[in-house]
Amino acid sequence: MKNSAYSELETRFKRLSSLREAAAVLHWDAAAMMPEGGAAARAEQLATLRVVCHEVLADAALPDLLAGAGGEPLDRWRAANLREMRRQWLHATSMPADLVAELSKAGSHCEMVWRKARPNNDFAMVLPHLEKLLSLVRAKADAKAARLGKSCYEALLDQWEPDGSTAAIDQLFGALAKELPDLIEGALAHQAKAPAPQKPEGPFPIAAQRAASLKLMEQLGFDFAHGRLDVSAHPFCGGTPDDVRITTRYDEDDFTRALMGVLHETGHALYERGLPAEWRTQPVGDARGMSVHESQSLLIEMQVCRSRAFLEFAAPILRAAFGGKGAAWEAENLHRLYTRVARSLIRVDADEVTYPAHVILRYRLERALIDGDLALADLPAAWNDGMRELLGVAPPDDRQGCLQDVHWYEGACGYFPTYTLGAMTAAQLFAAARAASPAIEPAIARGDFAPLLTWLRTNVHGLGSLLGTSELVENATGKPLDGAIFTHHLRRRYLGEN
Amino acid sequence: MKNSAYSELETRFKRLSSLREAAAVLHWDAAAMMPEGGAAARAEQLATLRVVCHEVLADAALPDLLAGAGGEPLDRWRAANLREMRRQWLHATSMPADLVAELSKAGSHCEMVWRKARPNNDFAMVLPHLEKLLSLVRAKADAKAARLGKSCYEALLDQWEPDGSTAAIDQLFGALAKELPDLIEGALAHQAKAPAPQKPEGPFPIAAQRAASLKLMEQLGFDFAHGRLDVSAHPFCGGTPDDVRITTRYDEDDFTRALMGVLHETGHALYERGLPAEWRTQPVGDARGMSVHESQSLLIEMQVCRSRAFLEFAAPILRAAFGGKGAAWEAENLHRLYTRVARSLIRVDADEVTYPAHVILRYRLERALIDGDLALADLPAAWNDGMRELLGVAPPDDRQGCLQDVHWYEGACGYFPTYTLGAMTAAQLFAAARAASPAIEPAIARGDFAPLLTWLRTNVHGLGSLLGTSELVENATGKPLDGAIFTHHLRRRYLGEN
């Protein structure tokens, strides 16, 4: 393979990978460590790294190298690697440089205005900036659509969900939207039959919360020789596969949210850490896409850690960590607390049952915005109508409505569906894992996650980007993504069905 | 200036600066935050950044741009900036690529062997690796000497001490070496007349040490909106001028060393933070060189913080931090503790009076090694002879002799003299500052460092690399570097002279 076009591409993508890893650590540092006065210089450092990365992908030699490598005999992993290289190159070279620069500027500016408009509940304030940004996002969608041979929305979606299809999402989300009203109604009726959960009484010192988090992370298989837990305003999983940095945010009056947040990020971290080490630094060694990534965090958080079995295991650890006593600290109560359903207005606070309604609303609206079927001025009304239809509640103001999420205001359209695709994928993978390995469920009840992790390593993590998303799901579970498995999970957990 | 060769150079060096800043933060992270499993990937990230930086300097367009800019009308700062650009370009292009790669490999390897050889007191074990490394360092010196038009040793020195001159160092170190035996003897006799200092009794919890460190850093003017204090195995000052990261290492049985270490790094940090903001990202905005940098840490540590006046101010803060009581916590005792002189074997543990003997020894030996006047096999004996001559003590083994410092074993020759040049510069700058601004000394006794910092900002920090080192010293103090000011300081502090 020496001196082939393919091996020259590997060399170039290795450089790209190291530069992106450097940027990932700097991003983490900016969120978790950096004093505020470092922000301007950090923005310059990251912008410079972005430019250097772009130069690698936009290099004039790349088209010939990609074509040349296509004619070389490549095994399965190398062929997939070449496919992913081509994908990255297509995206990187799909837009003229001035559009990239304009988008970056308009996105930063609109987000800045949004940061003021949201607390002031002032959609009109941000509207002209969002108008401008959206027109640039549409230009980006046009450019990417032409280059990738996809529809405009799919071209945007493709950035986070490679080969994501609106036809598939329409089918999955359409069926779910039909079931949701009954599901939510049924869950509320079911939980009304049991006593309301009690909130454990604080305060919960940060050191104790951190210690309990570390204990559960370790139990789940987080590798502290290759990762850390720190604090940031917005929790995330960053860093690199060999050095995974997850963050959380503690509230001394309520440990439950930070703790579950840590477990969610641990799911992302286990995925990153389990990516194929022999393909580190190559595109085929990267995580598959956002729905698979989210499936890994939701599998850990929703499927595993909000289960009764896990909470039976975790309850004594939490009691010991906080000196908790009484009924509020029993697994049964913690389970009721962690599976409480409510029709609410804010996506990030939503429970497992109502969350998809928030996502489906955003998916519908952003498609209409990109396709030109909805004027931005009509967004607040359309939002409120959608909330009434899907969730049966209407926001009293835009702050709790269409101003709540940053995504659109920084120019990110096409990201939202990956949350619920991830939830569906998580349910399907976990069901398949339990079916394939009956040891998984009893082990979880004992706090032993090794059997589950082994299955995930083999069927998801260790495959990197070898397969496409649909192929990966089918390979791991024996069938294409099937929304009924997710609703079945919801019916079992929230309606007490079998 | 638009579109001129000079402005094109500014654009390119701005990119270089951002990439180097990124690398600096990643270096800090590796020392202060990174889990050990991240080391290999981090090494790749940093190596890639080094290669990208090298490509900026080695670009084929640079010679013409430098020549073109030389013909443009440039003001004083821009002319100095161009001079520094040319300096960086000369160094970067002075060595063939294969020598760079070989040196890097041999340096890493030799250092790795040294890490085992030192605790095993086994110079023979590392000797062949050091032989190989030294021959590559000599090749590097030859290449740089040819390119820079300097002697071999000066070409190496120039990497850290731009335009450093062996003639000047020989004169300064020669005079000091003559005075040192009497000075050390006199200091020991003088301190024997006073009671021996008492060590405050621990333990000293790390949290209390950190709090006291932060309090004194803040008092000295460290800007926490643009910097942090963390922990690493080897304390250093890293990060960037807008985001200065200093580190220390706590010992629960002895707070005195970590505390003084923090104050030393604070001196470096104040320099970085005070570099001219309008020349951030350009070579002329960088710190001048290592002797000036070390002068800033030693001015704060040695001149200011080990003074009786400072310790009068600090003693109550330390008593409060640690709940200290009794004579050991009085300023007089702390001053005796912090100015204790001893003939000792280890440079990094040496006091202010004996430290130069350690440096002069290393300077003599590394010059002889580079010039081919000393065979490596004879290094241990030459080291021990030099210790006897300069300090009147002889190491019982090589671990406490020529194996103690990492510098040579990683290929760094020409660095050592900057420590003592820095000490001399610190004494001269502080004397000039006090003479120029009589408010400085009484303010320090009150814990007010603003008058001193103002003088340093104007005369040192804010000048960046506008002036050469000698020019900077002469500009700030009215005369060239004069070793007699340093020895005068030592005589006053350690021999009680006036």
B302-327 pLDDT tens trace: 999 999 999 999 999 999 999 999 99
DSSP H helices, B120-255, are 123-148, 152-157, 166-192, 206-220
Q: Are B91 and B141 in contact (CB under 8 A)?
A: no
User: In chain B, which residue's Cα lies nearest the Cα of A18?
Assistant: B45
Mean pLDDT of the B481-492 span: 98
Q: What pLDDT digit, counting tens, does each position of A175-184 carry?
A: 999 999 999 9
Residue B243 bridge partners (DSSP): B240
Q: What percent of chain A has pLDDT over 70?
A: 100
B230's enclosing H/E stretch is strand B227-231
How close is the nearest chain A Cα to the Cα of B367, in Å? Answer: 38
Residue A242 is nearest to which of B37, B241, B281, comparing CB atoms? B37
Interface test mutation site (partner B, options A28, A29, A222, max chain B beta carbons within 10 A): A29
Q: What are the DSSP calls for A206-262, one per residue?
A: HHHHHHHHHHHHHHHT--GGGEEEEE-SS--EEEETTEEEEEE--BTTBHHHHHHHH
Coil vs helix vs strand at B237: strand
> A195-206 in b/e burial notation, b at 16+ Cβ within 10 A?
eebeebeeebee
Q: State residue A148 phi and psi, 5-degree precision.
A: -95, -10
Burial class, A152, CB count within 10 angstroms (exposed 0-12 / middle 13-18 / buried 19+): buried
Residues whose CB is less than 8 angstroms from the CB of residue A70 and which lie 6 or more positions away in sequence, other chains included: A82
Catalytic residues of B: 265
Dihedral Cα A300, A303, A309, A312, nearest 10 deg: 60
Nearest to A26 among B22, B40, B47 (CB): B22
Tell me the C-alpha distance between B146 and A114, whole Å: 59
3-state SS class at B442: helix
| Nearest C-alpha in A relative to B50 | A19
**A3-47 residue pLDDT tens:** 799 999 999 999 999 999 999 999 999 999 999 999 999 999 999
CB count in 10 Å sphere of residue B356? 28
Q: Which residue has the tokens 């993504």?
A: A481
- Which residues of chain A are within 8 Å of residue B223 when distances are taken between CB atoms? 37
Residue type, B461: H
Per-residue pLDDT reduced to its tens digit, A438-497: 999 999 999 999 999 999 999 999 999 999 999 999 999 999 999 999 999 999 999 999
Q: What tokens were used for B495?
A: 């021999």
For residue B1, the model assigns a pLDDT of 46
Contact yes or no for A22 and B45 at CB 8 A: yes
Mention every residue, 6+ apart, whose C-beta is less than 8 A from residue B36.
Answer: A225
| Residues of B in Cβ contact (< 8 Å) with A41 | 18, 21, 240-243, 280
- Residue from A44, A229, A282 whose CB has the most chain B CBs within 10 Å, to mutate: A44
Q: What is the pLDDT of residue A29?
A: 97
Residue A1 has pLDDT above 60, yes or no: no
Interface test with B, best of A45, A50, A246, A280 (most B CBs within 10 A): A45
Q: Across the interface, which of A18, A25, A40 has its CB nearest the CB of B48?
A: A18
Q: What percent of chain B has pLDDT over 90?
A: 98
Q: Tell me the chain A residues in contact with residue B24 when contact means C-beta distances shorter than 8 Å.
A: none
B227/A44 CB distance under 8 A: no
Distance between CA B328 and CA B12 in Å, rounded?
Answer: 56
pLDDT, mean over chain A: 97
CB A427 within 8 A of CB A300: no
User: Is B218's pLDDT higher than 60?
Assistant: yes
Per-residue confidence band for B2, with pLDDT thresholds at 50, 70 and 90:
low
What is the bridge-based pairing of β-strands B237-240 and B243-248?
antiparallel
Chain B positions touching A15 (Cβ under 8 A) are 48, 51-52
Residue B21: closest CA among chain A residues belongs to which residue? A45
| Of B349, B344, B381, the residue nearest B365 (C-alpha) | B381
Sheet with strand B237-240: strands edge to edge: B227-231, B243-248, B237-240
Q: What are phi and psi of B487, to 5 degrees?
A: -70, -30
- Dihedrals phi, psi of A237, to nearest 5 degrees: -115, 120
Taking alpha carbons only, the member of A283, A242, A277, A278 closest to residue A10 is A283
Counted across chains A and B, CB pairs separated by less than 8 A come out at: 112
Distances (CA, A) of A96 to A34, A157, B477: 33, 19, 55
Which residues of A fall below an 8 Å CB-CB distance to B? Answer: 15, 18-19, 21-23, 25-26, 29, 33-38, 40-42, 44-45, 47-49, 51-52, 223-228, 239-243, 280-281
* Length of chain B in terms of residues written: 498
Q: How far apart are CA A303 and CA B222, in angstroms?
A: 48
From the list A84, A111, A161, A265, the catalytic residue is: A265
Mean pLDDT of A54-69: 97
Shortest distance between the Cα of B299 and any Cα of chain A, in A, equals 26
Q: How far is the CA of B171 from the CAs of A36, A153, B420, in angstroms? A: 47, 74, 13
Cα of A135 to nearest chain B Cα, Å:
31
B387 pLDDT band (50/70/90 cuts)?
very high
Which of A50, A51, A52 should one mutate to test binding to chain B, selecting the residue with the greatest count of B CBs within 10 A?
A: A52
Tell me whether residues B35 and A281 touch, CB distance under 8 A. Answer: no
Nearest chain A alpha carbon to B19: A45
| Cβ–Cβ under 8 Å, residues A386 and A364 | yes
> Tell me: the pLDDT tens digits for B439-465?
999 999 999 999 999 999 999 999 999
φ/ψ of B301, rounded to 5, equals -70, -55
**Looking at the predicted structure, is the pLDDT value of residue B121 above 90?**
yes
- If pLDDT is split at 50, 70 and 90, which confidence band does B468 have? very high
pTM: 0.95
Cβ–Cβ of B48/A228 closer than 8 Å?
A: no
Average pLDDT in the A240-252 region? Answer: 98
CA dist A4 and A69 (Å) reads: 7
Nearest residue to B127 via CA among B362, B460, B377, B429:
B377
**CB within 8 Å of A25: residues ≥ 6 apart:** A238, A239, A240, A243, A245, B25, B26, B29, B42, B45
Q: Given this model, what pLDDT does residue A114 score?
A: 96
For the segment A113-172, what is each residue's pLDDT rounded down to a tens digit?
999 999 999 999 999 999 999 999 999 999 999 999 999 999 999 999 999 999 999 999
Indicate the pLDDT class of residue B97, thresholds 50, 70 and 90: confident
Contact B308, B444 (CB under 8 A): no
Q: Are A189 and A443 spatial neighbours (Cβ–Cβ below 8 Å)?
A: no
Q: What are phi and psi of B238, to 5 degrees?
A: -130, -155
Cα(A492)–Cα(A494) distance, integer angstroms: 6
Helix (H/G/I), strand (E/B), else coil: B247: strand
Query: Contact A52/B19, CB-based, under 8 Å?
Result: yes
- How far is B45 from chain A, CA to nearest CA, in Å? 5
Beta bridge mates, A246: A229, A237
Phi, psi (5° rounding) for residue A272?
A: -55, -45
Residues in Cβ contact with B160 at an 8 Å cutoff, skipping those fewer than 6 apart: B289, B290, B414, B415, B418
Residues B104-120 have pLDDT tens digits of 999 999 999 999 999 99
